[in-house]
Amino acid sequence: MKKHELLVPVGNMDCLYQAIANGADAVYGACQCFGARKFAKNFTNEEIVEAIRLCHLYGVKFYVTMNTLVKDSEVTSFLEQVEFLYKNGVDAIIMQDFGMICYVLDRYPNLEVHASTQLNNSSYDIVKLLYEKGVKRVVLSREMSLEEIEKIDVPIEKEVFVHGALCISYSGCCLMSSMIGGRSGNRGECAGSCRLPYQLYEGDTMLSDSKYLLSTKELNTSYRFRELLDSSIYSFKIEGRMKSPEYVGFITRMYRHLIDSNASDCDLDLENDRLKTIFNREFTSGHLFQSSVCELMNTSSPNHIGLTIGKVISCDNKKIGIHLKKNLHQGDGIRFLESGKGLIVNYLYDAKGLLVSEVCKGNVCYIDNKIGLTDFETVSKTSDSLLMQELRRLPDRKVPVTYSVSAHVGESFIVSISDGVHRIVEKGSVVEKSITSPVSEEKIRTQLGKLGKSPFVSQTFDIDMDDDIFISLREINEIRRTLVDKLSFARMEVGYAPVIREVEFNCLKLSFDTEKSCSVFTEEQLLACLKLEFKRIYVNNYSLFLKYQSNSSIYYSMPRCLFSGQDMIPSRTLVKDLFSFSSKEFLIGDYTLNVCNIYTAYYLYQLGLSKITLSVELSSFEVNNFIDLFYQTFGCFPNVEVVQYGAVEVMVIKDNILDLKENVFSYYLKDLHQRLFPVYFNGVQTIVLNYNTQSKLDFNSLHKELSVRYQFYQESGKEIFEIVKNN
């Protein structure tokens, strides 16, 4: 097995061709449903079969992303899609939904499953749990540092993003797009809410005006890649299923060279300059290398800004004069950064006013002012015509093969071909003694080596032959073609025998209650809720929990995304991340566990949870359907609750990215629609809450076999009494 794998995104067949040709070890793409990039072109079922076969022909693995949350109405079609891929030789399926992961591992025991970063794989404990469940590989959260990754000594394959777009929130923890626009990031529909402008307020005081406060730079680890090569990371993953084929080709080639050269033979400055013309919103080495907030964020622009190449030095109605710091070619795309205006350089003039195809750095050039530019602005190249032409010419990728030949008078002519895994043998006619035209060893080599446009290239020959023998060139050529066809077919065959078994579910012994619960931050809120006799009061402040923990209704609301320490939590806890719960009692699963179907609930109960909060992304109909279907399937009612009131967490962000005072609850983010999103820093993470405190559920139509929860944030004790009275 190779020490490392280069894993490349493919949003369509054109991207796939680029990835294969430029050296990917594996690719990942999605079918038309259940992939976390719904708005990529993606693959039809027919295309996915073709893609898998093509990849296998060239020794490339194909992983399919089915990493959305799955609702009960979709379980059957989800499993049908898994089975289709399984039978057609997919190398692995990348999944988020915990219930579907467990179900698929039980139903298809030799299907390889990878846990998507959307599962929020940010802790040692979840990695350990997934390994114990049978997951082959875990895609670690982008928030994890290399130091933390190295501390995970679980014998599981580690996959890490090394290049591409960064989500500002922990993956799988972002509900912003879902809550404000109905487009769920957990369902592949993210609208990119983090790339929009926001204003930061403390009370009525504006602290920051209309900047892209939640927009990150692009991850780029190329300058520190040697450290990754020396790590325990197995798979280096590129982000970008929405990117162009040329981007896929370039970034694959760049990181292929870094891996093959051990990061020691690459002009990174030149390569990154070229990369900036394809896509650049500035670069960061990310949390992987513990970048500071300043190094991580790009609050000035969320879009492609290109490569700075010069400065405007003259401007009139006809011509724009630019002093160049980088070369400019006819056909390049440029943008003037201050105004945002851009154009394609259709006509390029040198300092003498002559039409030219190129002007080199250090010189002055002129272009037609067809955009009405008036100011002396910074000039950026946003597309490089020569680079695009280069990337559209795909390099040949070849699989080395070895030949073995036996040619003895009176015996059959035998030729075999091997790629190191498969060995194909063909037997020809009986070899005769030559009368006038003996075939030479060199001629046999030459004819067998004519592999042309096939995927193969001859590497070595082992020829055992008599002197003065006759074999027709036609026969040698026919045997070569037959061997190539059979080897190609063998490489494209499904490499495993699918095993499908019925899943038997154990009986669950659940008791359920319909008592109200609540979540609080302050002592005033806690005391008010005690007077209202809530069954469970989830306390976010640990010191406050310790003060009142003797009361059996008091539960600790644990922080999210902890790297370790889940074994230290008290028994009465509202848990927000996955781990093995069985060692504790009275653990309640929060809505952050993204329970959207009955199987996720079943497997979480099996792990040791006593009650589960359903996903806040479910509708009233879906909640009712969940309860009915759970009862029909498992013979008992589920012990669940739903959020009736309160601002749910829509983002969980590592570090204090907004420079907030710790545990001060008077900060807001205001968006373009004047909606106010409460935000606070808990000492480790920045938490953004939804602007709306009202649930979308119709509680008059809901099943009665559930609990409801109130989530209080800034409310006073008096306000809490009024809220409970009116809800």
3-state secondary structure 552-573: CCEEEECCCCCCCCHHHCCCCE
- Is the fold of 5-166+217-278 the same as that of 517-646+693-726? yes
3-state secondary structure 507-563: CCCCCCCCCCEEEECCHHHHHHHHHCCCCEEEECCHHHHHHHCCCCCEEEECCCCCC
Q: DSSP string covering 683-721, please?
A: SSEEEEE-S--B-SS-TTTS-SSSEEEEE-SS--HHHHH
**Separation of alpha carbons 610 and 615, rounded Å:** 16
Measured from the Cβ of residue 383, the count of other Cβ atoms closer than 10 Å reads 20
- pTM value surpassing 0.85: yes
**Separation of alpha carbons 172 and 100, rounded Å:** 15
Domains in the chain: boundaries: 5-166+217-278, 399-492, 517-646+693-726
- SS3 at position 243: coil
DSSP 8-state symbol, 204:
T
Question: What does the pLDDT read at residue 512?
Answer: 84
Are 311 and 322 a contacting pair, CB within 8 Å?
Answer: yes
Question: What does the pLDDT read at residue 36?
Answer: 57
For the chain, which residues score pLDDT lower than 70?
1-2, 36-40
CA atoms 370, 373, 376, 380: torsion sign: negative
- List 588's β-bridge partners, or say none: 574, 611
**Separation of alpha carbons 689 and 667, rounded Å:** 11
Percentages of the chain per state (helix, strand, coil), in multiples of 5: 30, 25, 45
- What are the phi and psi torsion angles at 167 (to 5°)? -75, 140
Q: Which CATH class is domain 5-166+217-278?
A: alpha beta
Q: What is the total residue count of the chain?
A: 727
Question: What does the pLDDT read at residue 37?
Answer: 65
Question: What does the pLDDT read at residue 1?
Answer: 44
* Residue 626 CA to its chain's centroid (Å): 28
Q: At what angle do helices 98-107 and 598-607 cross, to 10 degrees?
A: 90
Question: What does the pLDDT read at residue 605?
Answer: 95
Q: Give me the CATH code for the 517-646+693-726 domain, please.
A: 3.20.20
